[in-house]
Amino acid sequence: MQITAEHVIQFIELVAARVKEERDFLTRLDSAIGDADHGVNLDRGFSTVLTKLPSVADKDIGSILKTVGTTLVSTVGGASGPLYGTAFLRAGMSIGERFELNASDVLAALNAALEGIQARGKATRGEKTMIDAIAPAVEALRAAIDAGDGYLDALRKTVAACEQGVQDTIPMLATKGRASYLGERSIGHQDPGATSALLMARAMLAVAEGAAGA
């Protein structure tokens, strides 16, 4: 299956719509272990991204993703703005001036995004952040592609690993970001950033299913 620039635009639009739907839920999660702004932050960012999409609609995939990244850096704020912004920028840099991707290109882009988030935020797995959702997702995608799965099956496994990663944040002690200020009281709550990362993984799958007519 080929992933086109149009699919990437659909993905961004779907993320923006889902972020709006889930805004209050994400913010509620962030009110338990943060400052109750994660959903509001992301909604502000992706609403601005939507206004930029017409100007990149006929551009290559790298340019589209880099525009998303710079917009998120300048509008989301908080910890997650620079982190998601860097993720989209790095994914865009990994893809470059291309209009079609295969599954391995998507894996390379997601891996570049993960490395960008880690370089910027210095978090590793087990610290109760978005890394705990994204790293297992990237790992599952790599394993599925290596095993010869088609793109759709590989993405289904990616989403399943991401869902497990989000669940796994609940018993974790936060040692990065605002939630770490709570110490032991951060235990027992689902991480908001991991949850928004899952929303994005699900949007990738939904677009791929739509494209495949599945």
Rounded-to-10 torsion of CA 177, 182, 185, 188: -10
Structure tokens at 163: 């869902």
Rounded alpha-carbon distances, angstroms, from residue 119 to 41, 63, 114, 116: 22, 22, 9, 5
Residue 95 one-letter amino acid? I
Kindly indicate which of the ranges 30-38, 123-131, 166-174, 183-191 contains the residues binding Mg ion, using the contact rule CB under 5 A: 30-38
| Residue 177 partner contact from Mg ion, ligand ADP, none using kind-dependent CB cut-offs of 5 to 8 Å | ligand ADP
Among 34, 121, 165, 193, binds Mg ion (CB under 5 A): 34
Q: Which is nearer to ligand ADP, 95 or 135 (CB)?
A: 135
- List residues near ligand ADP by CB under 6 A: 30, 34-35, 37-38, 41, 78-80, 83, 117, 121-123, 129-131, 176-178, 191-194
| Residue 193 partner contact from ligand ADP, Mg ion, none using kind-dependent CB cut-offs of 5 to 8 Å | ligand ADP
Beta-bridge partner residues of 3: 101
Rounded alpha-carbon distances, angstroms, from residue 116 to 29, 62, 91, 98, 191: 24, 15, 9, 20, 20
Q: From the CB of 31, what's the least distance to Mg ion, in Å?
A: 9
Q: Which is nearer to Mg ion, 30 or 60 (CB)?
A: 30
37 touches Mg ion by CB under 5 A = yes
Kindly indicate which of the ranges 4-12, 16-24, 34-42, 89-97 contains the residues binding Mg ion, using the contact rule CB under 5 A: 34-42
- CA dist., res. 7 & res. 101, Å (int): 10
Among 6, 21, 24, 35, binds Mg ion (CB under 5 A): 35
Task: Show the beta-strand stretches assigned E in the chain.
Answer: 3-4, 100-101
Q: Which is nearer to Mg ion, 86 or 111 (CB)?
A: 86
Contact between 16 and 50 (Cβ < 8 Å): yes
CB atoms within 10 A of CB 19: 24
| Residue 146 partner contact from ligand ADP, Mg ion, none using kind-dependent CB cut-offs of 5 to 8 Å | none
